[in-house]
Amino acid sequence: MDEIAKARMAQVLHHRKAGLGVGEPVVPVISVATTFHLPEVQGAAHVYGRSGQPTWDAVEAQLAILEAAEVVAFPSGMAAISAALTACLRAGAKVMIPSDGYYVTRLLGRDFLAVYGVQVVEVPTAEMPEADFTGFDVIYVETPSNPGLDVIDIAAVVARAHAAGAKVIADNTTMTPLLQRPLDLGADLVVAADTKAPAGHSDALFGHVAGRDANLMARIREGRRQSGSVPGPFEAYLVHRGIETLELRLARMCSSAAVIAERLAGRPAVRGLRYPGRAGDPSHAVAMRQMVNGGFLIGFELADEAEAEAFLAACPLIEQATSFGGVHTAGERRARWGDAVAPGFIRLSVGIEPTEVLWAAIAAALPGRKA
C-alpha cells in the first residue's frame, strides 16, 4: 500500500467518531426503514428508502474517503456500470468498451445499449492505446482486464479521450481504490463491483460509482432513485464491515500472489503466465506506473481443459467458484464462460490463507511434467 492509500484507510477506520454523540453506537445501524418521520420536509436527512438511507450513507462515506470523490452505492457492480453508462450516453452516442473485459458489460452493450441506439464498439484492451477515439462519447476501460490481466495506461487514455471530447469510465474492480486511483489519473468516473474484494467474504453483492463532477454525480444519484436500482441495508452493512479490513486482506492477498506468480513461472507445466506485478509481464511497466502493486489475480495456462480441471480438483485450497477477491483462494477455467482464452487458462484469485501453506497445496496439485 502506498502512503496515500494508507492514510485514507486510517481515516476510514476513524471518520465516524467526529459525528457521534455520547452513547451513540460506534458501528452504523442496519436501518431497515422504508420511510422516515416527516412532519415537515425541510431539513430531513432522509425521506423515503429508495431515495437514500443511513446504512448506504455509511458505506458511501467510507468509499468517498478511499476514492476522494463523491460516491453513489448500487446493489451490484453491474447496477453501478449500467448507471454510469446510461448517465453518460443517449441515442446516437458512441461508446468504446474492451472486448476482453468483464463479459456481462459486453452483454449489456449488445443487448441493451445497442437496442436503445447507442453505438457500441468493442476493442481489445491491448489495442485501445492505438485506437481512434474520434466521434466517441465514452471510452470505457477495465484495467487490469478481467480475466486476461492486460493493463492500459489510464492517464494516456484520458488525455486522448478528453482531446476527442469523450469521457472516460474506468472499471476498477480488479484493483479497488486502495491499489489504483483512476480518478487521480483523470478518469471521469470509476465503477466497481464491491462484491469482490471490498465485501471480501463472498456474501454480499454491491457496487458503486465514484466521480468528482457534481452534476454528473447528481444525475447518477437521481438515476438510482428513478430506476429503483437500490442496495439493501444488510448488504450495505456487510460491505461497510468488509471495507474496514480491506487493506489488511489485500496486503496478504497481494504479497501471496507475487510469491505464487514468481514460483508458477518456474514450473514447466505453466505457460502464458500473467501477473502485472511480475517483471517480464507484458503489462509490468504500465502497471508499476499506475498500480500500487500487482494485485491478487493471476492468470496462467495448463496444457488443456483436462489438465486444468484436474489441477483445480486436486488442490484442496482452491475454491472452484467464479468471482474473485474473497478470503478463500478461488480458481476457475474461464473458457467455460466463453471468455476468449485458451481451454487450459485458469484465473486464480489469491485469498488470505498463509502463503506457504497455500503455495505447498498449489505446488502439489500442479502437473509434475519436466521441462
Q: Tell me which residues touch ligand PLP (CB under 6 A).
A: 76-78, 81, 102, 142, 146, 171, 173-174, 193, 195-196, 205, 207
* Sheet containing 319-320: order of strands: 271-274, 297-301, 345-349, 330-333, 319-320
DSSP string, 166-202: -EEEEE-TTT-TTT--TTTTT-SEEEEETTTTTT-SS
Of 169 and 366, the one with the shorter C-beta distance to ligand PLP is 169
Shortest distance, position 78 Cβ to ligand PLP, whole Å: 4
Shortest distance, position 351 Cβ to ligand PLP, whole Å: 16
Other C-beta atoms within 10 Å of 23: how many?
5
Query: What is the rounded CA–CA span in Å between residue 176 and residue 186?
Result: 16
Of 58 and 297, the one with the shorter C-beta distance to ligand PLP is 297
- The answer to whether 48 and 38 are in contact (CB under 8 A) is no
Shortest distance, position 166 Cβ to ligand PLP, whole Å: 20
Shortest distance, position 171 Cβ to ligand PLP, whole Å: 5
Measured between alpha carbons, how far apart are the two ends of the chain, in Å?
A: 36
Of 142 and 307, the one with the shorter C-beta distance to ligand PLP is 142
Of 83 and 205, the one with the shorter C-beta distance to ligand PLP is 205
Nearest residue to ligand PLP on Cβ basis:
77
Q: φ and ψ at 76, to 5 degrees?
A: -165, 170
Shortest distance, position 63 Cβ to ligand PLP, whole Å: 14
Shortest distance, position 42 Cβ to ligand PLP, whole Å: 37
Q: Residue 164: exposed, middle, or buried by beta-carbon count in 10 A (0-12, 13-18, 19+)?
A: middle
Of 125 and 195, the one with the shorter C-beta distance to ligand PLP is 195
3-state secondary structure 51-68: CCCHHHHHHHHHHHHHHC
Of 242 and 366, the one with the shorter C-beta distance to ligand PLP is 242
